[in-house]
Amino acid sequence: MTGHQIKKPAIFISHASSDGEFANAIKQEIEKVFADGVNVFCTSSPGAISVGSDWLETIEGKLGTAQAIIVIVTPVSIEKPWLWFELGATWLKGRTGNCLIYPLCAPEINLSVLPSPLDRLQALSMGKAPDLTILFEALIKQFGFGKITTFKASNIIKRIPKYKNIKVEEIDLNEKVFYSGKYTGYTDDELMEVIDTELFHPDCAKYEDWHEREEQIGKGKLLHFRQIDKNIDLPPGTAKRLMNKVAERYSMTPVYEDINVIRYKYDDDREDDDRIVGNESYNKSCGDERVPQVTFSDEQSFEIFKSSSCSLTFTSGSRHSIHRWTISMMDKFGS
């Protein structure tokens, strides 16, 4: 007579390749709370996928037998197709009650702006002890066993790194994101032109709004990568990847940069000896007379610039230099 083997509940932890530390921190605490009474699968665990096996078939099989899916949501995974593949594979099971889905977010993720369908579920933060307690209490209730007294949220919180210190794996860098917007198929050079035209150049052209210059990009305005992608309808991740290159065109350098946001300032160390001149061969007439080529002082140039009665140009440089010169003159002589 063979003994009856009890089938253990199965938990699938969905995560990006770069987020193994997050997944394993959760896995270790689950195994402690449930005393090895559940099967926990996450691809970053050694031996999770056997050598020589079909990894996709393994993942599909584990998803098919899981009673609980913990979705690790991070700045990397939130834009990756595999998260949505694994979530979609179990969504119908979740609606019928055969599988529960628990979105668990890195501390850097704003829970209030999760994309659909994650926003229809109760998302929890991995950086908050009360949220982690809710997760483990829910799992214990779902499976009908486990010891909440052995659970310590601090075990998880102290194991997870700051996301800015995470090294993004090559597979996550190269994996394409879902996008079907109007810039589908654009090269990086073309996307940089879009960012310049839609974001930087209009901002730099706001000379008339003297008193709001602190809100300009080159004056330290806080920029949100994902918000810029959304506003301009760029492929996800484009702003974070290309904005610094565009900012260099305007002699701007980052003074603060993190996972989701950035601030720029003009590079004050860069020499800029451009001066405004009237150019007889280039300028439009000022009234009925041509303006002969002449060099003005900074204060004179600034007054002429504000009057807008003549078209002026720099002896060298570009529109970017003109903008930097204008800002410096506003600081020097006021509005």
- 114-171 pLDDT, tens digit per residue, is 877 778 888 999 999 999 999 999 999 999 999 999 999 999 999 999 888 888 777 7
Q: Check whether 26 has a pLDDT greater than 90.
A: yes
Which position has the higher pLDDT, 335 or 97? 97
Which of 46, 28, 63 is CA-nearest to residue 136? 28
Query: CA–CA separation, 126 vs 184, rounded Å?
Result: 34
Q: What are phi and psi of 13, to 5 degrees?
A: -100, 110
Coil/strand/helix, residue 104: strand
| Token pair belonging to 22 | 């997050």
In this structure, are residues 106 and 72 in contact, taking their beta carbons and an 8 Å threshold? yes
Residue type, 199: L
CATH numbers and ranges of domains, the chain: 10-174 (3.40.50.10140), 182-274+316-335 (no CATH)
Q: Tell me the range of 207-211, 232-236, 243-247 where mean pLDDT is highest.
A: 243-247
Q: Is a pLDDT exceeding 60 seen at residue 107?
A: yes
Report the percentage of the chain scoring pLDDT > 90.
Answer: 30
What is the per-residue pLDDT for 39? 93
How many whole angstroms separate alpha carbon 78 and alpha carbon 192? 23
CB–CB of 320/252 below 8 Å?
Answer: no
- Alpha-carbon span 42 to 23, nearest angstrom: 7
CA–chain centroid gap for 234, Å, is: 12
CB 137 within 8 A of CB 124: no
Predicted pLDDT of residue 141: 95
> Which of the pair, 6 or 114, is modelled with greater confidence?
114
pLDDT at 55: 67
Task: Give the tens place of pLDDT for each residue, 163-216.
Answer: 888 887 777 766 655 566 788 778 888 889 999 999 998 887 765 444 455 678
> Which residue, 71, 83, 85, is CA-closest to 11?
71
Task: Say which amino acid occupies 69.
Answer: I
Helices (H), the chain: 20-33, 55-65, 81-95, 129-143, 153-157, 170-174, 188-195, 201-204, 225-232, 238-249, 298-307, 319-333
- Looking at per-residue pLDDT, the higher value among 155 and 75 belongs to 155
Q: Which residues contact 78 (CB under 8 A, 6 or more apart)?
A: 109, 114, 115
In this predicted structure, the answer to whether residue 28 has a pLDDT above a threshold of 60 is yes
Confidence class for position 286, pLDDT limits 50, 70, 90: very low
- What integer pLDDT is reported at residue 177 of this predicted model? 59
Q: Given a cut of 70, is residue 233 above it in pLDDT? A: yes
Say what the pLDDT of residue 274 is: 41
Q: What's the pLDDT at 169?
A: 79
In sequence order, the 6+-apart residues with CB closer than 8 A to the CB of 168 are: 18, 76
CA distance 264 to 272: 18
Q: How high does pLDDT run on average in the chain?
A: 76
Place 327 in a pLDDT band, splitting at 50, 70 and 90: low
Give the neighbor-by-neighbor strand order of the sheet with 223-224. Answer: 223-224, 261-266, 252-257
